[in-house]
């Protein structure tokens, strides 16, 4: 695992952290007060197949429980899928989450890299194409047209679509695909519900693929507390989804404010995180300046394959913190 996913600013002096694209709402804080988890439930073994949570997820997505596998975070899902297709040809759209590449390397895949705009040129073969909707780090949505073209042109290939951030897309750009025999969808509880320490995600795929993935998984991969939290999140998802329009509106405002600063170029995104290019010096120098002189964290994006050292990623916060960032960026020379 590459160390550098954001959310690494642990200094108590930090006043605003824009480095992590986890939604920082009050949902997770309130959850502990509202959840009815008894001490005795943690003294027993968890459901080995997360049956209750699986059923809730299946109902949420209008699929059958046999099409769902609950995992120890989206990262376990990524590594299990890479292991299932061990040694295959993998096409990774870049820039993207580093764990796709790491998982493929660990499982001896033959890796090719394509920029997002080259996706429609993926060769026809029986390999795998790794995508994200929306993409991390730039927030670009994956269109239904692109998905359909890839499935049509590559009749024997599989698509892995990481939908960890899909809830943050406006409905007009949300192109989540329905169940398809050659599509594996990855979801995460981390980003929307703000619970990265719990490690909870899931895969939606055909019954055949889910069975094969479960054969690779160790017993009790998801603990009892994580299962209970997942059940609570699904049952109370409307609480947090009502907050998203305001967050996305704030993101548009923040992108416009930064774009108006002379030394920065914003790569516009419809979601709550986006890339910014500094026109002077490097993103590493900028992030050090913000950290040491302004007590603010941003995500230096130089380690994303396909990006140079001028890019950094920002995740939208509340108006007060966003104003602090704008003021700090205004001091950059």
> What is the DSSP code string of 243-310?
THHHHHHHHHHHHHHHHTSTTEEEE--SSSEEEEEESSS-HHHHHHHHHHHH-EE-EE-TTSTT--TT
pLDDT of residue 2: 44
Instruction: Output 18 or 172, whichever has higher pLDDT.
Output: 18
Pairing between β-strand 183-188 and β-strand 158-162 as defined by DSSP bridges: parallel
pLDDT of residue 10: 65
Q: What's the rounded mean pLDDT across residues 187-205?
A: 95
Model confidence over 245-302: pLDDT tens digits?
A: 999 999 999 999 999 999 999 999 999 999 999 999 999 999 999 999 999 999 999 9
pLDDT of residue 154: 84
Residue 168 pLDDT more than 90?
yes
Q: Which of the four pLDDT bands, split at 50, 70 and 90, describes residue 140?
A: very high
Q: Which of the four pLDDT bands, split at 50, 70 and 90, describes residue 1?
A: very low
Model confidence over 18-61: pLDDT tens digits?
A: 999 999 888 888 887 778 766 677 888 999 999 999 999 999 99
Q: Pick the closest to residue 258 from 296, 314, 214 (CA basis).
A: 314
Which CATH class name applies to 35-239?
A: alpha beta
Q: What's the rounded mean pLDDT across residues 317-329?
A: 98
Highest-pLDDT range among 10-14, 149-153, 257-261: 257-261
Q: Match domain 16-25+243-330 to its CATH number in 2.40.160.20, 3.40.50.2300, 3.90.1150.10, 3.10.20.30.
A: 3.90.1150.10
| CATH 3.90.1150.10 residue spans of the chain | 16-25+243-330
| CATH 3.40.640.10 residue spans of the chain | 35-239
Q: Which of the four pLDDT bands, split at 50, 70 and 90, describes residue 8?
A: low
% residues pLDDT > 90 (the chain)? 78
In the sheet that holds 128-132, the strands lie side by side as 68-71, 201-204, 183-188, 158-162, 128-132, 89-94, 110-115
Q: For the chain, where are the alpha helices, taking DSSP H only?
A: 27-34, 51-61, 73-84, 98-106, 144-153, 190-193, 207-216, 224-235, 237-241, 244-259, 283-294, 319-330
């Amino acid at each position: 695992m590459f160390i550098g996913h954001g959310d690494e600013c642990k200094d108590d002096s930090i006043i605003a952290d824009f480095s992590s694209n986890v939604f920082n709402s009050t949902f997770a804080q309130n959850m502990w007060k509202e959840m009815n988890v008894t001490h005795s439930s943690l003294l027993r073994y968890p459901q080995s197949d997360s049956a209750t949570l699986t059923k809730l997820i299946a109902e949420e997505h209008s699929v059958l429980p046999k099409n769902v596998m609950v995992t120890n975070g989206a990262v376990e899902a990524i590594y299990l899928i890479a292991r299932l297709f061990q040694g295959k040809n993998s096409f990774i759209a870049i820039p993207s989450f580093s764990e796709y590449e790491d998982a493929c390397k660990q499982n001896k895949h033959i890796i090719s890299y394509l920029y997002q705009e080259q996706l429609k040129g993926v060769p026809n073969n029986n390999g795998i194409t790794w995508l994200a909707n929306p993409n991390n780090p730039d927030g670009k949505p994956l269109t239904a047209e692109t998905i359909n073209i890839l499935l049509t042109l590559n009749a024997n290939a599989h698509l892995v679509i990481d939908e960890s951030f899909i809830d943050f897309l406006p409905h007009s750009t949300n192109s989540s695909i329905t169940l398809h025999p050659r599509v594996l969808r990855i979801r995460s509880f981390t980003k929307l519900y703000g619970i990265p320490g719990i490690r909870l995600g899931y895969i939606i795929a055909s019954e055949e693929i889910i069975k094969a993935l479960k054969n690779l998984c160790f017993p009790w991969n998801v603990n009892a507390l994580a299962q209970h939290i997942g059940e609570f999140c699904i049952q109370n998802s409307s609480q947090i989804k009502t907050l998203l329009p305001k967050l996305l509106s704030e993101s548009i405002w923040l992108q416009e404010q930064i774009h108006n600063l002379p030394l920065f170029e914003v790569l516009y995104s419809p979601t709550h995180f986006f890339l910014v290019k500094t026109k002077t010096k490097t993103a590493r120098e900028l992030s050090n300046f913000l950290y040491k002189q302004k007590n603010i964290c941003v995500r230096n994006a130089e380690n994303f394959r396909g990006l140079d050292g001028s890019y950094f990623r920002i995740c939208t916060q509340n108006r007060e913190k966003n104003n602090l960032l704008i003021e700090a960026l205004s001091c950059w020379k």
